[in-house]
Structure 1
Amino acid sequence: MTVATNTTKATEKVKVAIIGSGNIGTDLMIKIIRTSQNLEMAAMVGIDADSDGLARAKRLGVATTHQGIDGLINLPEFEDIKIVFDATSAYAHKHHNDVLQKHNKQVIDLTPAAIGPYTVPVVNIEDNLEQGNVNMVTCGGQATIPMVAAISQLSKVHYAEIIASISSKSAGPGTRANIDEFTQTTSRAIEQVGGAVKGKAIIIMNPAEPPMMMRDTVLVLSELPEESGTTEAEIAKSIEAMTEKVQSYVPGYRLKQQVQFERFEKDAPLHIPGYGDFSGLKSSIFLEVEGAAHYLPAYAGNLDIMTSAAQGTAERIAQCKYSTEQSNFVIA
């Protein structure tokens, strides 16, 4: 995380809670404890008293409950908590959000419920700082939408398709239960945040041994250079610049090779099932995401990019909404 500040004294950290003591919630907890600039872990919430996440939280001195959202509300720490992360499921999040909004808590949603606006830190965090609930899209969305946005900033994007390949071992029960929500949420966010007219998302859970790191393929169809006034070199430069911005909070995020370009003229268009014929410029972007291994192995980059994005979003919200001092905290 890149932080720039002009303040001369440290601000009081904002207390946060995490609902969901599984892989994502536990990784996020450890990230906050080890690396956070503005956040302090106040409570870890689960529904399985024997979960590893709750056990780790207890050992780290964090208040815990295995009674879900009701248990969180009854904790003495609840009153001082400003931000609550939800790392459960899309179905459960709807109830959690209803309860938390009544208590005026800032909610950061790591499920595909999408009650609040889709938020990708390097693309639109500044637009959503005043929202009571923000949605972190999906792991695939966090990895690929910045690439779509890097192109849409320069040229009209007619269609963008992403294929997110993750290790089967890094896909927990919540991920497996939300496959439909994953594809729907990611597709919509490609359009609403990435700037594509039409978006499509595919997820692949690879059972390979040893486990593979997260790989993402981003296919973007945009205007030809002579139509947009943007050259292929400028698009490649924009993608490289966006990659560096994501690396500021996900160091293991990288391009696997140079961007590949292909032209399709009007007399020889590309046919896309479900979309139709396309003439223009095709940009193929190949990504790899290596996790920081705070809780799970490095191959679980899909979890790492979600928790890193959620933490980055919370850091910025905490600094803007709850800090008593003004400073120049930036994600860049």
Structure 2
Amino acid sequence: MSKKIKCAIIGSGNIGTDLMIKVMRNSQNLEMGAMVGIDPNSDGLARAARLGVPITHEGIDGLRKMPNYDEIGVVFDATSAKAHIYNNDLLQKDGKKVIDLTPAAVGPFTIPAINGDEHIDAPNVNMVTCGGQATIPMVYAVKRVSKRVPYAEIVASISSKSAGPGTRANIDEFTETTSLAIEKLGGAERGKAVIILNPAEPPLIMRDTIFVLSQGASQEDIEKSVLEMVKDVQKYVPGYRLKQKVQFEVIGDNNPVRIPKIGYSTGLKTTIMLEVEGAAHYLPAYAGNLDIMTSAALTSADHWAAKQLSKEVA
């Protein structure tokens, strides 16, 4: 299709800038309509201006005053959970489709490899967190071949250099939102999330460890499901891969684990280790946490835009 829908990005930091470059390079159905920030000296706004993208440093209020605002169909919010509440209220009044890259969790959780276009028509969809995008598909991969998943825990380790002020301001929201999504999307009865900002130099690539306690599935079925899910995520995040072979441990009656609000439980413990290499569109390849978040958001928005454009053709 030659016609595209204009989009705006609120948040000119690491995530917003990486997303802008992805829209301009990779999007099939979207084109940049505005880059929005609050710091007139931010690198993201300067880069957008050099690329010919309309900019404002007056936040959501500045966006709404831009002459092309009526042409913008979808808005990505890459600010903070607190700011998103305010932004979304205004955007909904204006009839904009909103893709939320903060942990605010106003709209339904969306991970392309799990629930794809299930909420494509929702006015606001939430992309969980970078750690959630990377790890919850693995929890779901175990759950879909199991009778029960009493518990799942994820540990996401990202380079400190890839975590901007927005990410740092949302650490509590990150753990709460990711834990909830482990249960809602991953299918675990109890979920826990931990994030580590690694200050190592040179910066280390994003690494994730997932622990899942399941019942009613064989090791062979779980490993097959995990490998299939890795391929599904790689369709939009090519740098997503297993770090080593899936590991298993039988938790028997002689050594059950105690799960908060569930009690003692047994089953098969699956350990999955991942690494996510970024496409290096803005930050270097170690920032896989940015890449998986922005790639997932763009995939969801592109599918929505394709549906809108097909309606216009029809």
TM-score when normalising by structure 2 = 0.97
1:27 touches 1:296 (CA, 8 Å); kept in 2? Answer: yes
Hey, what's the Cα distance between the residues in 2 that align with 1:41 and 1:264? 51
The match for 2:183 is 191
Unaligned runs of 5+ in 2: none
- Partner Cα distance (1:216, 1:275) in 2: 25
Question: C-alpha displacement at 1:11, in angstroms?
Answer: 4.8
Matched, 1:306 2:293: yes
CA–CA distance in 1 between the matches of 2:182 and 2:102? Answer: 16
DSSP-derived class of the 1:297 partner: coil
**Residue by residue, what CA displacement relative to the aligned partner does 1:111-150 show, whole Å, maximum 9, x if unpaired?**
0101001111111122111100000100000000100111
User: 1:159 maps to what in 2?
Assistant: 151
Conserved? CA contact 2:80–2:170, under 8 Å: yes
Query: What residue number does 2:195 align with?
Result: 203
Aligned to 1:241: 228
Moved over 4 A (4+): 272-275
- Residue identity in the other structure for 1:241: E
Q: Residue 143 of structure 1 aligns with which residue?
A: 134
In 1, the alpha carbon distance for the partners of 2:262 and 2:184 equals: 18
Give the C-alpha shift of residue 50 in structure 1. 1.1
Q: Distance in 2 between matches of 1:110 and 1:121?
A: 14
The answer to whether residue 165 in structure 2 is matched with residue 178 in structure 1 is no
Partners in 2 of 1:129 and 1:238 — Cα distance? 25
- The whole-number CA distance in structure 2 between the counterparts of 1:310 and 1:51 is 22
Deviation, 1:326, is 8.0
Q: Take 1:11 and 1:190, find their aligned partners in 2: how far apart are those partners?
A: 39
| CA–CA separation in structure 1 for the residues paired with 2:128 and 2:260 | 25
* Alignment-derived partner of residue 30 in structure 1: 21
In structure 2, C-alpha distance between the alignment counterparts of 1:78 and 1:90, rounded to whole Å: 23
CA RMSD of aligned residues (A): 1.5
Task: Answer yes or no: is the 8 Å Cα contact 1:11–1:324 preserved in 2.
Answer: no
Is 2:63 the counterpart of 1:76?
A: no
In structure 1, the residue matched to 2:4 is 13
- Name the CA distance, whole Å, in 2 between partners of 1:212 and 1:268: 35
SS at match of 1:12: coil
8 Å CA contact retained: 2:110, 2:128: yes
Aligned length: 313
Counterpart AA for 2:56: T
Residue identity matched to 1:323: S
Structure 1 residue 121 corresponds to structure 2 residue 109: no
Aligned residue number for residue 215 of structure 1:
207
| Percent identity of equivalent pairs | 65
Which of these residues, 293, 296, 306, is aligned with residue 319 of structure 1? 306
State the match for 1:5 in structure 2. none
Deviation at residue 278 of structure 1 after TM alignment: 1.9
C-alpha distance in 2 between matches for 1:311 and 1:133 = 14
Q: Residue 266 in 1 paired to residue 258 in 2?
A: no
Check whether the contact 2:141–2:225 (CA below 8 A) recurs between aligned residues.
yes
Q: Distance in 1 between matches of 2:70 and 2:260?
A: 52
Aligned equivalents of 1:325, 1:80: Cα separation in 2: 15
Give the letter for the 1:209 counterpart: E
For residues 181-232 of structure 1, what are the alpha-carbon distances to aligned partners after superposition, in whole Å with 9 as ceiling and x for unaligned?
Answer: 0000000000001111110000011111111111000000000xxxx2x321
CA distance in 1, matches of 2:254, 2:199: 42
Distance in 1 (CA, whole Å) between partners of 2:309 and 2:116 is 16
What whole-Å deviation, never above 9, does each CA across 1:279-330 have from its counterpart, x for those lacking one? 0010000000011000001111111111111101101111123433789xxx
Q: Does 1:97 align with 2:88?
A: yes
Structure 1, residues 253-302: CA drift from partner, whole Å, max 9, x if none? 10001110111122331345676422001000000001100000111111
